[in-house]
Amino acid sequence: MCILVGALLITVMSVARMPNTEFPMTGKFLILGVRAEMADAQTIKVLQQLEVQCQSCMQECMLTEGEGLVDVQGAGLLSCPHCGEHQAVSRARFEQFLQMTVRKA
- Domain presence at residue 34: yes
Confidence bin at 41 (pLDDT 50/70/90): confident
Show the domain range for 47.
11-104
- How many structural domains comprise the chain? 1
- Domain presence at residue 6: no
Tell me the three state secondary structure of residue 47: strand
Give the mean pLDDT of 29-42: 91
Half-sphere exposure at residue 14, Cβ-oriented, CA atoms within 13 angstroms? 0
- Domain presence at residue 2: no
- Domain presence at residue 4: no
Q: Percentage of the chain with pLDDT > 70?
A: 72
- Domain presence at residue 75: yes
Q: Which residues pair with 63 in a beta bridge?
A: 50
- Domain presence at residue 74: yes
Confidence bin at 82 (pLDDT 50/70/90): very high
Contact call for residues 98 and 104 (beta carbons, < 8 A): no
| Predicted TM-score of the model (pTM) | 0.75
- Domain presence at residue 3: no
